Amino acid sequence: MPGGARISFNCVTSSLSSLKNCQSYINTGMDIATHVALDLVESSNDVEDVKSIEDVMLEYAAMDRELNHYMRAVEETVNQIKREKPENIPDLKKLVKEKFTALESKNSDSDLQENEKYMYFKDQLKEMRKQFCHGSDNDNEAIEQIDEDIAVTQSQMNFICPITQMEMKRPVRNKICGHTYEEDAILKIIQTRKQQKKKVRCPKIGCSHVDVKGSDLVPDEALKRAIDSQNKQRWSTLDKSAGYAAVTEKICY
């Protein structure tokens, strides 16, 4: 109402900024946990240890949810006070607590499993197990055992960017359609089309997705590791071949 009490929210704004910094620490923790889990899968040690990391990811997701609820409660309370302009200064702490409690009362386990970074974690674990052919009793997925030569051929095909037609170095996955591209190549196309005010169709032949956005792209760490692993094996084979050739040359001459 007109003529209400003047309240400074500078302190509140500063506190919200600090909370957002805390959120970045949570995100960093989830990123590190994801990398550790992928390391374990790559080394075939992906049963109990990976399950423990998954539990940690859920704990991070719970902290992220609680932090989001608190920041939302603060922001909604501040906006309400600014809108209503009360004559007397209200108990800000009490109002925030009431809104926060209301938000927390709607919590469910499914919220945690829908956390974006947790979903990325699960997706990368799934892809990592496919790439390195490690099964897990904890998953409901069964990775079919197929002919080794066919598996290698399919993997090599997956390593090729549909844009550059070259092996990817920094693959990113489209969260919408699931296809992967070389990061620089797809971002360049998105930027060019944006300047032309046009949408970007997924470059993968046969894909019906017609609106690829930079915000829908996430690093495909599992695929990158598979590519790096194959390249290491390739160089190892070349080194051995070179060694055999050198030995043979010495014997012959």
Residue listed under structure tokens 């946990």: 33
**Position with higher pLDDT, 242 vs 179:** 179
pTM above 0.85, yes or no: no
Question: Which among 175, 167, 160, 168 is positioned nearest to 212, based on CA atoms?
Answer: 175
* Beta strands 217-219; 180-182: pairing state: unpaired
pLDDT, tens digit (0-9, with 9 covering 90-100), for 132-186: 765 454 555 444 443 444 444 445 558 999 999 999 999 999 999 999 999 999 9
Tokens of 67: 């932090």
Tokens of 167: 């092996």
Domain ranges of the chain: 10-121, 148-252
Q: Which residues contact 32 (CB under 8 A, 6 or more apart)?
A: none
Q: Which of 45-59, 172-186, 188-202 has the lowest mean pLDDT?
A: 45-59
pLDDT, tens digit (0-9, with 9 covering 90-100), for 111-122: 999 999 999 999
Cα torsion angle, 84, 87, 93, 97, sign: negative
Question: Which among 89, 78, 76 is positioned nearest to 4, based on CA atoms?
Answer: 89
Q: Has domain 148-252 been given CATH number 3.30.40.10?
A: yes
- pLDDT at residue 147, as a whole number: 45
Count of alpha carbons within 13 Å of 214, Cβ hemisphere only? 11
Residue listed under structure tokens 């052919």: 133
Query: What mean pLDDT, rounded, does the chain reach?
Result: 84
- pLDDT at residue 161, as a whole number: 96
pLDDT, tens digit (0-9, with 9 covering 90-100), for 7-18: 667 888 888 888
